[in-house]
A and B are shown apart, each in its own frame.
Chain A
Amino acid sequence: MSTPLLEIAGVSKRFGANLANDDISLTLAKGEIVALLGENGAGKTTLMSILFGHYVPDAGTVSVDGAVLPPGKPRAAIRAGIGMVHQHFALAPNLTVLENIMTGTEPLWSLSARKGQARAKLAALSARFGLKVDPHARLGDLSVGEQQRVEILKALYNDARILVLDEPTAVLTRAEAEHLFATLKDMARQGLSLIFISHKLDEVMATADRIVVLRGGRKVAERRAAETSKAELAELMVGRTVVRPVREPATPGPVVLEAVGVTLRQSGVDRLKAVDFRLRAGEVLGIIGVSGNGQAELARLLCGTARPTSGDLLLFGKPVGEPGVAGLVEAGIGRVPEDRNKEGAIGDMAVWENAVLERLPRFSRHGLVARKAGMAFAQDIIARFDVRGGGPSTRIRLLSGGNMQKLILGRNLIDRPQILIAAQPARGLDEGAVAAVHERILEARRAGTAVLLISEDLEEVMALADRIQAITGGRLSPPIAAEAADTRTLGLMISGEWTAAKETAHAL
Chain B
Amino acid sequence: MSTLFDILASAGLWAAVLRIATPLILGTLGALLSERAGVLHLGIEGIMTFGAMIGWLAVYHGADLWTGFLVAALAGAAFGLLHALLTVSLGLSQHVAGLGVTLFAASFAYYVFRMLVPVAGTPPTIVPFQPLDIPGLTAIPFFGPAFFAQTAPTYLAILLAIALGYLLKRTPLGLAIRMTGENPHAAEAQGINPVAVRYGAVIAGSALMGMAGAFLTLSAFNSFFPTMVQGRGWICIALVVFASWRPGRALLGALLFAFFDGVQLRLQPALNGIVPYQLFLMIPYLMSIVALAVMARRARVPQALMQPYRRGER
B271 CB within 8 Å of chain A:
no
Contact of A99 among B175, B188, B314 (CB under 8 A): B175
Q: How far is the CB of A375 from chain B (nearest CB, A)?
A: 29
Q: Is A84 in contact with B189, judged by CB distance below 8 angstroms?
A: yes
Q: Tell me if A's interface is mostly helix, strand, loop or mixed.
A: loop
Q: Tell me if B's interface is mostly helix, strand, loop or mixed.
A: helix
Nearest CB in chain B to that of A138: its residue:
B300
Nearest CB in chain A to that of B172: its residue:
A106
Q: Is A103 in contact with B303, judged by CB distance below 8 angstroms?
A: no
Contact of B191 among A99, A102, A104 (CB under 8 A): A104
A95 CB within 8 Å of chain B:
yes
* CB-defined contacts of A179 to chain B, threshold 8 Å: none
B residues sitting closer than 8 Å to A (CB atoms) are 170-173, 175-176, 178-179, 182-183, 185-192, 300, 302-303, 311-312, 314
Q: List 27 A-B contacts (CB under 8 A).
A: A49-B312, A55-B312, A74-B189, A75-B191, A89-B186, A90-B186, A90-B189, A90-B190, A91-B183, A92-B186, A92-B303, A99-B178, A99-B179, A100-B186, A102-B175, A103-B172, A103-B179, A103-B186, A104-B176, A104-B187, A104-B190, A105-B172, A106-B172, A109-B172, A113-B172, A154-B190, A158-B190
Contact with B along A4-35 (1 / 0, CB 8 A): 00000000000000000000000000000000
* CB-defined contacts of A103 to chain B, threshold 8 Å: 172, 175-176, 179, 186-187, 190, 192
Assuming A95-B179, A104-B191, A154-B190, what are 11 further A-B pairs, CB within 8 angstroms? A89-B186, A90-B185, A92-B182, A93-B183, A94-B302, A100-B179, A100-B186, A103-B179, A104-B176, A104-B192, A113-B172
Most B-side CB within 10 Å, residue of A49, A54, A95: A95
Number of A interface residues at 8 Å Cβ cutoff, please give it. Answer: 33
Nearest CB in chain A to that of B314: its residue:
A88
A110 CB within 8 Å of chain B:
yes
Nearest CB in chain B to that of A78: its residue:
B191
A108 CB within 8 Å of chain B:
yes
Contact of A110 among B171, B183, B185 (CB under 8 A): B171
* CB-defined contacts of B302 to chain A, threshold 8 Å: 94
Q: Is A93 in contact with B191, judged by CB distance below 8 angstroms?
A: no
What is the bound-complex CA distance between A99 and B170, given in angstroms?
A: 10
Contact of B176 among A54, A93, A108 (CB under 8 A): A108
Nearest CB in chain B to that of A87: its residue:
B314
Contact of B182 among A54, A86, A93, A110 (CB under 8 A): A93
Q: How far is the CB of B141 from chain A (nearest CB, A)?
A: 39
Nearest CB in chain A to that of B311: its residue:
A54
A250 CB within 8 Å of chain B:
no
Q: How far is the CB of B32 from chain A (nearest CB, A)?
A: 15
A107 CB within 8 Å of chain B:
yes
A residues sitting closer than 8 Å to B (CB atoms) are 49, 52, 54-55, 74-75, 78, 84, 86, 88-95, 99-100, 102-113, 154, 158
* CB-defined contacts of A154 to chain B, threshold 8 Å: 190
* CB-defined contacts of B173 to chain A, threshold 8 Å: 108-109
What is the bound-complex CA distance between A78 and B189, given in angstroms?
A: 9
What is the bound-complex CA distance between A92 and B303, given in angstroms?
A: 8
What is the bound-complex CA distance between A109 and B192, given in angstroms?
A: 13
* CB-defined contacts of A100 to chain B, threshold 8 Å: 179, 186
* CB-defined contacts of B179 to chain A, threshold 8 Å: 92, 95, 99-100, 103-104
Q: How far is the CB of A147 from chain B (nearest CB, A)?
A: 12
* CB-defined contacts of B178 to chain A, threshold 8 Å: 92, 94-95, 99
Q: Is B175 in contact with A113, judged by CB distance below 8 angstroms?
A: yes
Contact of A112 among B171, B182, B185, B187 (CB under 8 A): B171
Nearest CB in chain B to that of A102: its residue:
B175
What is the bound-complex CA distance between A76 and B303, given in angstroms?
A: 28
What is the bound-complex CA distance between A110 and B167, given in angstroms?
A: 10
Q: How far is the CB of B203 from chain A (nearest CB, A)?
A: 16
Q: How far is the CB of B119 from chain A (nearest CB, A)?
A: 49
Q: Is A95 in contact with B172, judged by CB distance below 8 angstroms?
A: no
